[in-house]
A and B are shown apart, each in its own frame.
Chain A
Amino acid sequence: MADLTKKEIRRRFEKEAMIHVDPLMRTARRMTKNDSDSEDLVQETMLKAYRFFDRFEKGTNCKAWLFKIMTNIFINNYRSKSKAPQSLAFDEIDDSFLFGQLAQVKSVSNPEVEFFSRIFDDDVKEAIGGLPEDFRIVVVLSFLEGFSYQEIADITDLQIGTVKSRLHRGRKLLQKSLWDYAIKNGFIKEPLN
């Protein structure tokens, strides 16, 4: 604290931290699935970060630091109180689920092109939103915010192995959900096994 005046802290905060409000907001929306909650969450995160900013080390990863603060607040205060056990039949979903399914489709000549061209932004967003919370957070941090496995482990306080397996499962669930959607809407006819 000694060599940082309060003005300097404020200047640095506006320069280094405020630029991350948009990414925080994007992720907050995915976490809370609610616009007003997500604004509250981001505001709380930024105010808390500011109060502690004298302890934040210059030149280090400010974005990851802010995401860690936000994830902590979310888990402590926002996450749905009744944490129902998430029983999911992962084993039904093969590792190369979507790739394998599409390879078997015979009803159209290029099922991959068909699949990717008929699914729109909102469908993908809905599929992400439909992921169970634990998987959703990891998928959003990795896919949409581009954090590394190690950064996600730091942000979420998970082991790196857990991050990887959640990401892996999240990816599979996302594929399954988009596949089901494509079948349901008749973009693709389910291959007969």
Chain B
Amino acid sequence: MNCRQALEKLYDIIDNESGDVDSQDVEKHLKMCRHCMAHYEFERIFKTFVVDKGEDQVASDDLKKNILGKLDEIDAAGEVGSSRFPFSWSRVTIASAASLVVCLLGAYFLSGFYQFQTEVAPFMEAHLAVETEGQSYQGRDPLLYLKDKTGIELNCSDPKILESIVAVSVDTIMGIQFGHIELICEGQRPLSIFVTASGDYQIPSRQHETINGRDYMVHSCDKCNLIGLTKGKYSMVSISKPEIAPSEIVAMIGYF
């Protein structure tokens, strides 16, 4: 590692964002290079300086009292759970979506871990979904929205299932376009369904399992459950935390 490479990793290390391998490489360089070491020390001190001096003291007792008062009003009006959720939150809540996806798909695509991580970035971006309360999908049917954006036509006649959809987006994974439907199963458990019409994407045929008399590609581990299937001209992959059993996922997909 040279000085330029060490400098590139400098802020990742200061911000505790570098992997072990990178950290070790940089550390090795810092031990040898007095200039980089001085620079590293300086940036670390600068950050600590800003953190210490920049922090605000807030007095929020009155505000908290006000908020609790308003919560009583909401309780009295029975408004909890009455609104449609305004945006996709599974990205925040499925602890580090990246590791989940890597765990899920990495094994199947057989690409290098790091390459995959960068390829998968669009998966976590580009949420074209709902911005504000009451204006979900620009006030339109989520599946119509999906059709507009991707040409993928799914149908679902169960309003309860439609209501559980919190976001629809278009994600490109490994260069293949997927429609991404995020829904919340009963008990606040998020489930993602990826659909593609691309013939380039084949459901990887590794572990098969028969569920309700049909054959599915299934991956289960302590981080996730993944089910792949072909439905007409579409390939579908659904991803969830392990708490949603494969049979339940199959039942959910069955609604579409």
Contacts and interface: CB of A to CB of B under 8 A. Distances in A.
Interface string B25-53: 00000000000001100110111011101
Nearest to B39: A99
Contacts of A64: 92
Contact of A9 (B38, B42, B54, B80): B80
Given A9-B80, A119-B53, A47 B70 contact: yes
B121 interface: yes
A57 B71 contact: no
Interface in A45-70: 46-48, 50-58, 60-61, 64-65, 68-69
A153 B67 CA distance: 28
Contact of B85 (A1, A55, A123): A55
A22 B63 CA distance: 10
Interface of B: 7, 11, 15-17, 38-39, 42-43, 45-47, 49-51, 53-56, 58, 60, 63-64, 66-68, 70-71, 74-75, 79-83, 85-87, 89, 91-96, 98, 121, 124-125, 127, 131-133, 166, 184, 186-190
B87 to A, nearest CB: 6
A153 B70 contact: no
A16 to B, nearest CB: 13
A52 B58 contact: no
A-side interface mostly: helix
Nearest to B70: A47
A187 interface: no
B80 A53 contact: yes
Contact of A143 (B16, B50, B189): B50
A176 interface: no
Interface string A130-150: 000000000000111000111
16 contacts: A25-B58, A48-B86, A51-B81, A51-B82, A52-B81, A52-B86, A64-B92, A72-B86, A72-B132, A119-B49, A119-B53, A124-B49, A143-B47, A153-B124, A160-B121, A168-B11
A91 interface: no
A114 interface: no
Contacts of A96: 7, 39
Interface residues of A, number: 72
What 8 pairs across the A-B complex have the smallest Cβ distances?
A124-B53, A60-B93, A54-B81, A154-B92, A25-B58, A99-B42, A121-B53, A57-B188
Contacts of A69: 86
Given A21-B60, A124-B54, A144-B54, A61 B85 contact: no
Nearest to A161: B121
A21 B53 contact: no
A112 B42 CA distance: 8
Contacts of A56: 89, 93, 188
Given A128-B50, A144-B55, A154-B92, A22 B60 contact: yes
B180 to A, nearest CB: 15
B52 to A, nearest CB: 8
B85 A47 contact: no
B71 A13 contact: yes
Nearest to B4: A95
Contacts of B94: 60
